A and B are shown apart, each in its own frame.
Chain A
Amino acid sequence: MVEDTKSLEEVVVVGYGTVKKSVVTGAIASVKAKDMEGLTVPRVEDALKGRTAGVTIAQNSGAPGTASRVTIRGVTSINGATPLYVVDGIPLDGGALDILNKSDIESVEVLKDAASAAIYGTASAAGVILITTKKGKAGDIKVNISSNYGVQSPERKLGLVNATEYAYLRNEASLNGGGGVIFSDPSSYGKGTDWQKEVFNYSAPIQNHEISLRGGSENSTFFSSFGYFDQTGIVASDISRYQRYTFRFNSDHKIKKWLSIGNTFIYAHIKSKTSVAENDYYGNVLSSAISLDPITPAKYADKNVSVPNAYAVKDGDGYYYGLSSYVGQEMINPLAFMQVNKDNYNWADNFSGSVYVEIKPLKDLAFRSTLGGKKAFWGSEKYTPLFYYSPTQMNTSQNSYTRGRFQGINFTFSNTLSYNYKINDHNFTVLLGTEIRDGSGSGLTTVYSGIPANSLKEASMNVSMTKSNVSSWGYEDQPHKLLSYFGRLNYDYMDKYVFTGIVRRDGSSRFGANHVFGNFPSAAVRWNVHNENFWKRNNAIDALNIRLGYGVNGSEDFEDFKYTSVMTNVGGNMFGNDQVYFGYAPQSPSNPDLKWERTTQINLGIDAVFFKDLSVNLDIYQKNTNDMLMKKKLPGYVGANDNPWANISSMTGRGIELNVTYNKQLNRDFNVSATGNFAYSKNKLTDIGDNDYITLASMQASSYEVERYMVGKPFGMFWGFRTNGIFQTQDEVESYVNKDGGKLQPNAKPGDFKWKDLNGDGQITADDRENLGLAIPPFTYGITLKANYKNFDFMVFGQGVAGNKICNQVRRLDVPTSNYTRKALGRWTGPGTSNSYPRLIEGTDVNGNYTNMSDFYLENGAYFRLKTLQIGYSLPQSLLKKVSVDKARVYVTSNNLFTMTKYTGFDPEIGGNQGIYGIDRGVYPQARSFMVGLDIAF
């Protein structure tokens, strides 16, 4: 919440209405259109990144079009409650935000505290993001053109060993495992294939073009825009691309003095190629590029090379792609995979918008009815030819053509009545409202096998097929409905004392019969100290206010019908002549008490402006989430097939957030500003029912989990063994004994890890594991520096995290022949060679060097990334006036220019899905881009 004395009359969107900035009682961050100028913002949430303390935007991957994981004030629930997005008053699922253009957006507000978010009741626990699109303005039609074009490249490559080194290391690992020499002459392989180079694109294009028109008369205004965005991925560009076309039309009409209507409408068409897995060691392109041996050539130079299967993949010129005889399983030649999948794509057509009617029988009384939502169609087109990648990955029987067709609709109908009342210096605003939400969706996928076609282009579903060659499956979404009543009172006395009170009552089809409705109240106060009579105007502090709020929020971000007892197949029995009969019994007992997860939060904030130019906001909060869903363990005598879901577990979180803005007009030509934000948050579990702990995320080839959570410990915690150096000699193994003289690691050999006996019981067991660090960064920060000198402008924006660890799992451990990172060159090879990287071994990892989850895999996850560097030049007004142009600006910009980190993987920014945070399984890295752009307004 950037604040300065001049902007106190700015309004802030608070949900079902707006308030003056000076009477905001909660912790609300606001990002305005002007803050986004010059940024490349493929998705709205990207605009929030690093902008405001306490809102963490972690890119799940650098694949074009990927959504980010947005977290407001840390983890709210073990079940992954996500923020609610509301676009022009209509809730929208987070994944659908890509239908918005940057230049459509007027403002983005984030309701961070519970007192503010309570107006969204059972959808608000993880915070609320309100997006307001631009409306028309009376006056001449204004045209804005914003256009940029650039190229992208990977910021860095992983350090992997070359073919000679690979052969050498494998020989060594084989000998260590009791095997023989595999490669008799390692140096004969030279450097070999650089698979990363083969799949990376160092000049992948990115472009964005937006045109908007805005204008209207006193009674009728409109805003319209067209946009085109096209980003080619830096990894396997042939199968990684995102293209979007958008069209928007907003209009507002004043029919009578007391009657207004209006609409927002958007259509977006998206075409994408998403065949590159984003963070998956079982994936195709990146994990293959990391793990394939460098000995295998990318392509064979000889067209007539003998291949093991007729369907081995060839390039366009008829050269076969190299087939690895060393690395198998999911690892395949990524170029062959690209060739096979190059035409396949996904598409989406989204129609979204809203209409409203506003009736104002009195100047201060307004009734508003809004109906809005989204209708989406999406699908996929895929042709699978006959191919052979490896002995386990092939399709040599029939080609096939797969078409997916899906659709969904969500709508919201809300009605509000608001009334302003002023008596003397007392200002009241009362809001009452009701809302319903509903939605449905369905889909169908059909596969034609053995069609007369050789490519997606030739494939058609017009061909007549025999029944046995057609397979198809579909689904329906389960119904999900919400019914809400809400009210809000805003009160202020002379702009000194401010009070906001909210009650929302939400019913959801996801709750059990005993708790169909939940109540979500909140109260918040604000004291504008600088408006007091006793406040002396002074030169040091220009403004000061204090905010305090408490609220109750809910989350129903879990599956439908968890409360109910669904019949399920529970095996069967045979009667007569081998006739099988199936039995059906309730999956689990119903739980009519099942209800929302309940989050309460108290927030204390202070805002101050010093020396006119420096504004500071400080917020501290404590939040408690109770009633988180888990399965209730029932005693066996109940006889249930499975345990029912119940509101069981709880966690707490607390944090501090600081925003600092400095803005100085040094002279007529020179303006500088600096904005910084910093946040710290931590959480811990306080109750997980009857469970000692819950495991999260597994590691290939290991029987130990990577993360777990337990009472008293934070959510998102790495759990494993601690290494204590490496046994350099057999003597060290022999002398690593417990107090009774028993050897702790009797089977260890020199070169193996020495494990710490953490529980001190004199042996190394699964109980010798502990908290190895946080997977979610507790510290986040962002810095923006801006300067304007005459017609030049300069902006630099960086963002970073600290305090977390990343689990580097890019190498396929369960495939011992996988290629090694260069770190392996520093392995233990004899006494004194290494105390941190154990000996390589092909064969049983008796000591668990590589198969134990341990601090060996963890690296410091802190980074600082220069997100944007931009230099612009605006053409002089004197020149522009002659051609009736309001503004013309050209700029050059670079995104992700550099990243400072000790992390050795592709990219330290790893979002991750629910429960699997901070694990790098070969994440699709973000691109570094260089762009030129143009903004014109007339």
Chain B
Amino acid sequence: MKRILIYTVISAGLLSLTTSCGKDYLDVDPKGKALESNFYQTEDQLMEGLVAAYASLSHEGGWSVKMIGFNSAGDECYTGGASVGDYSNYQAWNTNTMTAVNGPSESFWNPDYQGIYRANLLIQKIGNGVTGIDNALTNRYIAEAKTLRAYFYFELIRLFKTIPLITKPLEPSEWFTVTQATREEVYAQIEKDLTEAAAVLPTKSAMASSEMGRMSKECAEALLGKAILFQNNESRMEEAAGWFNKVNTAPGYALCPNFKDIFDPTNKFNSESVFEITHTASMQQGDWGAKIFGNMYVIAVGPRSYSHGTEDADHTYVSGWSFSPIIKDFADFMKGDPRFQYTIADVDSLVAHCGAKYTPGYQNTGYFIQKWAPLEKWRVKTGTTELNFPNDMIEIRLADTYMMEAEALVRAGKNLGRAKDLLDAVRARVGLASVPATLDNIYNERRLELATEGHRWDDLIRTGQAATALAFKGFKKGKNEYLPIPQSSLNNTKLVQDPAYQ
């Protein structure tokens, strides 16, 4: 009997042998793949995490070319393209017929929140410092992430009436329970992020040339001034002017002597550029619809089936997709302005005088965008050439901050002399005489100076001119100031659709 006992014990012991390792035995990591849980350890990984948030600036290229959207919305361009079905999401903005299902909403909502998530994740992962990495570095990365987060929220709050305010990555339990914040709460967060970031970020003049394109102190300040200005609180106009003033007087900044040079891809990060969304031709990728490093808006605005004649190099285009044709009224409005030739490509006159040919696209007017026109001289010679234009998009430039400071001063009723000087400086660069610094004059100048750069719709909305100026596009006051919340974020969630779209 004793022997039996021994054997039984041995048996039981062997039986438990395989179990002693328990749960740890199953705890394995994938080979050759970094995990979210063990990433964010090295300087390279931190940078890669930060760049992920930057990558959302251009909406990763792909089909979400947001400039087609902004220019569809305003009174400078139509959507255009091949047909009414081409980029139907933006066409819906052109006619103010957007719904939660069809329209531009998702093209902004998803990439912006993707950028916010990536910024949130980085801030969460490195917010308390990373062992072995200098705090100065993590603090700068956090400041950049906050600036980007504020930028994305600012875009969202301009486009949507109420949105969820998410400042750290959501737990699975929160995926479907998030609710919307007030507009004030969102703006407060934007201002907080930008104020904190501006205190940490280096000025552009102190940044190495290899760092150009990264968030600078002036980026944060300019965005902060804009965020305050856009809230239309007249009592805070002086505050807004103060932030613009910091940018406008920062070392190393000056208007480009030649208007045309601002948009030249060989003149990136010029003295006028405050916030620049970068692109490159060097990747030569042909990954349609996914990660594109070139600027897709460039090929999008080119005349369709274009063949050139005897035009000069600044008007020799690559055949494009004929998006964003300039509305004739706007072209007429600009006629006579010295900036016309750098802003609008009068392709019909090239046909008439130089023997160029093209196929009129949808909503063709004969006028095309010149600031980002696909010039043959910028075209890469290998790879998927049409997707790899090197032109950067300048999100904020000095002429813009000059005029916003002028506007804020006029609205505050303070320092009108400086307001006039700022406005005059913008006009003088293109050889125009001084005009009084009235709001009308400033808005008029913005329209001419910043044409097709994606500011017009915002300006019309925030100054209350949209209902009149966009009546011809079916704009409905009290509704089309905002986009509907996309259906995909309403399904199974606690979000409530803008009542105007219900």
* Residue of B28, B120, B211 with most chain A CB atoms under a 10 A cut-off: B28
Question: Any chain B CB within 8 A of the CB of A566?
Answer: yes
- By the criterion CB–CB under 8 Å, are A635 and B495 in contact? yes
In the complex, which of the residues B15, B175, B390 contacts A367, with contact meaning CB atoms closer than 8 Å? B15
Interface flags for A284-307 (1: CB within 8 Å of B; 0: not) read: 000000000000000000000000
CA separation between A303 and B114, bound complex, in Å? Answer: 65
Q: B291 on the interface (CB 8 Å rule)?
A: yes
Check A434–B18 contact: CB distance below 8 A. yes
Instruction: Pick the contact of A636: B14, B50, B486 (CB < 8 A).
Output: B486
Q: Is A565 an interface residue (CB 8 A)?
A: yes
Chain A residue nearest to B25 in the complex (CB): A483
- Asked if A435 is at the interface of the complex by the 8 Å CB criterion, the answer is yes
Q: Report if A572-B19 is in contact (Cβ < 8 Å); known contacts: A359-B7, A585-B121.
A: no
For B34, the closest partner residue in chain A by CB is A567
CA of A436 to CA of B37, assembled, Å: 27
Contact between A639 and B113 (Cβ–Cβ < 8 Å)? yes
B14 touches A367 (CB 8 A): yes
Query: B residues 254-299 with Cβ under 8 Å of A?
Result: 278-280, 282-283, 291, 293
- The distance in angstroms between the C-alpha atoms of A669 and B146, with both chains bound, is 94
- Chain A: which residue is nearest B163 at the CB level? A637
**Selected interface stretch from B126-134, B164-172, B197-205, B339-347:** B164-172
In the complex, whether B213 has a CB less than 8 A from a CB of chain A is yes
A577 at interface (Cβ–Cβ under 8 A)?
Answer: yes
Chain A interface helix/strand/loop/mixed: strand
Q: Name the one of A369, A485, A573 contacting B54, with C-beta atoms under 8 angstroms.
A: A573
Residues of A within 8 A of B115 (CB): 639
* Mask: chain B, 103-139; 1 = CB below 8 Å from A; 0 = not: 0001001100111111011000000000000000000
Is B352 among interface residues, defined by CB-CB distance under 8 A?
A: no
Interchain CB contact under 8 A, A577 and B4 = no
Closest to A480 in B: B28
A733 to chain B, nearest CB (A): 26
Using CB atoms, name the residue of chain B closest to A560: B30
Which of B41-49, B409-417, B425-433, B465-473 lies on the face that meets chain A? B41-49
Give chain B nearest CB distance to A643 CB in angstroms.
11
Q: Are A579 and B113 interface neighbours, CB within 8 A? A: no
Specify which chain A residues have a CB less than 8 angstroms from the CB of B170 in the assembled complex.
638
CA of A724 to CA of B30, assembled, Å? 54
Q: Is there contact, CB below 8 Å, between A483 and B213? A: no
Residue contact B49 to A584, C-beta cutoff 8 Å: yes
- In whole angstroms, how far apart are the Cα atoms of A516 and B24 in the complex? 10
Residues of B within 8 A of A564 (CB): 30, 35-37
Does A576 interact with chain B (Cβ within 8 Å)? yes
CB <8 Å contact, B213 and A575: yes
Answer yes or no: B382 CB below 8 A from chain A CBs: no
Tell me, in angstroms, the Cα distance from A511 to B120 when the chains sit together: 27
Known contacts A433-B15, A633-B491, A636-B109: A362-B211 contact under CB 8 Å:
no
Q: How many Å lie between the Cα of A45 and that of B170 in the bound state? A: 49
Q: When the two chains form the complex, which single residue of A415, A509, A579 contacts B15, counting CB atoms closer than 8 Å? A: A415
* Contact yes or no, A572 B45, CB < 8 A: no
- Say yes or no for A842: interface residue by CB 8 A criterion: no
Distance between Cα atoms of A579 and B109 in the complex (Å): 28
Q: Is the CB of B121 within 8 A of A432?
A: no
Give the residues from 1 to 37 in chain B that come closer than 8 angstroms, CB to CB, to chain A: 3-4, 6-8, 10-12, 14-19, 21-23, 25-37
Task: List, in ascending order, chain A residues with CB within 8 A of B30's CB.
Answer: 478-479, 560-561, 564, 566
The answer, among A432, A481, A581, for a CB contact under 8 Å with B26, is A481
Contact call A586/B121, Cβ cutoff below 8 A: yes
Q: Select the stretch in A199-207, A522-530, A589-597, A866-874 that faces chain B.
A: A589-597
B214 at the interface (CB under 8 A from A): yes
Which one of B55-63, B326-334, B397-405 is at the A interface?
Answer: B55-63
Contacts of A436 in B (CB 8 A): 18, 21, 25
Q: Which residues of A contact B212 (CB under 8 A)?
A: 575-577
Contact code string A466-487 (vs B, CB < 8 Å = 1, else 0): 0000000000111101110100
Bitwise interface map of A from 593 to 611 toward B, beta carbon under 8 Å scored 1, else 0: 1000000000000000000
Q: Does A890 belong to the interface (CB within 8 Å)? A: no
A367–B106 Cα gap in the complex (Å)?
Answer: 63
The digit string for A681-701, where 1 denotes a CB below 8 A from any CB of B, is 000000000100000000000
| Residues of A with C-beta under 8 A to B176 | 635
Chain A positions 363 through 389: 1 when the CB is less than 8 Å from some CB of chain B, otherwise 0: 001010100000000000000000000
> In the assembly, what is the distance between CA of A586 and CA of B213, in Å?
24
- Which residues on the A side are within 8 Å of B36 (C-beta)? 564-567, 586, 590
A417 part of interface (Cβ distance < 8 Å): yes
A361 sits at the interface (CB 8 A): yes
* B45 and chain A: residue at smallest CB distance: A584
CA distance A364 to B27 in the complex (A): 38
Q: Is A308 an interface residue (CB 8 A)?
A: no
> What residues of A have a CB within 8 angstroms of the CB of B175 in the complex?
634-635, 638
CB-CB under 8 A from A415, the residues of chain B are: 14-15, 17-18
B51 touches A572 (CB 8 A): yes
Interface size on A, residues (CB 8 A): 69
A507 touches B26 (CB 8 A): yes
**A291 vs B57: C-alpha distance when bound (angstroms):** 49
Whether B489 is near chain A, meaning CB under 8 Å from some CB there, is yes
Least CB distance from A571 to B in Å reads 4
- The answer to whether A638 and B51 touch (CB under 8 A), given A509-B26, A564-B35, is no
Residues of B within 8 A of A310 (CB): none
Cβ of B39 < 8 Å from any Cβ of A? yes
Contact A585 B49 (CB under 8 A): yes
CB distance from B164 to the nearest CB of A (A): 5
Q: Is the CB of B113 within 8 A of A417?
A: no
- Bound CA span A638–B114, Å: 7
On whether the beta carbons of B26 and A361 are closer than 8 Å, the reply is no
Beta-carbon nearest neighbor of B390 in chain A: A578
Residue A494 is within 8 A (CB to CB) of chain B in the complex: no
Task: Evaluate contact between B55 and A476: CB separation under 8 angstroms.
Answer: no
A509 neighbours in B (Cβ, 8 Å): 26-28
Q: Which residues from chain A contact B31 at a C-beta distance below 8 Å?
A: 476-479
Residues of B within 8 A of A565 (CB): 35-37
Find the A residue at minimum CB distance from B152.
A639
User: Of B22, B109, B209, B293, which is within 8 A of A637 by CB?
Assistant: B109
B232 part of interface (Cβ distance < 8 Å): no
Q: Does B493 have its Cβ within 8 Å of any Cβ on chain A?
A: yes
- With A434-B18, A573-B278 in contact, do A417 and B51 touch (Cβ < 8 Å)? no
B8 touches A361 (CB 8 A): yes
Q: Does B52 contact A (CB under 8 A)?
A: yes
CA distance A413 to B20 in the complex (A): 14
Inter-chain CA distance A429–B184, complex, in Å, is 72
With A369-B14, A565-B37, A571-B55 as known contacts, state yes or no: A479 contacts B117, CB within 8 Å.
Answer: no
A582 at the interface (CB under 8 A from B): yes
Q: Given A583-B51, A637-B164, A576–B209 Cβ distance below 8 Å?
A: yes
Contacts of B60 in A (CB 8 A): 570-571
Bound-state Cα–Cα, A561 to B32, Å: 12
Q: Which residues of A contact B441 (CB under 8 A)?
A: none
Q: Write the nearest CB–CB distance from B27 to chain A, whole angstroms.
A: 8
How distant is the Cα of A517 from the Cα of B278 in the complex, in angstroms? 49
User: CB within 8 A of B55: which of A367, A478, A573?
Assistant: A573
Is B444 in contact with chain A by the CB < 8 A criterion?
no
Q: Give every chain B residue within 8 A of A846 (Cβ-Cβ).
A: none
> A499-536 CB contact bits vs B (8 Å, 1 = yes)?
00000000111010000100000000000000000000
- For this complex, 20 residue pairs linking A to B, each with C-beta atoms less than 8 Å apart, are A365-B8, A367-B15, A477-B31, A478-B30, A483-B26, A570-B60, A571-B55, A571-B291, A573-B57, A576-B210, A576-B211, A581-B54, A583-B55, A584-B45, A585-B52, A636-B486, A637-B109, A637-B166, A638-B113, A690-B491
Which A residues are within 8 Å of any B CB, using their own CB? 258, 359, 361-362, 365, 367, 369, 413-417, 432-436, 476-479, 481-483, 485, 507-509, 511, 516, 560-561, 564-567, 569-586, 589-593, 633-641, 690
Name 4 extra pairs, CB < 8 A, besides A417-B15, A633-B488: A365-B11, A571-B52, A574-B279, A636-B488
5 smallest A-B Cβ distances: which pairs? A639-B117, A361-B7, A583-B52, A576-B210, A583-B51
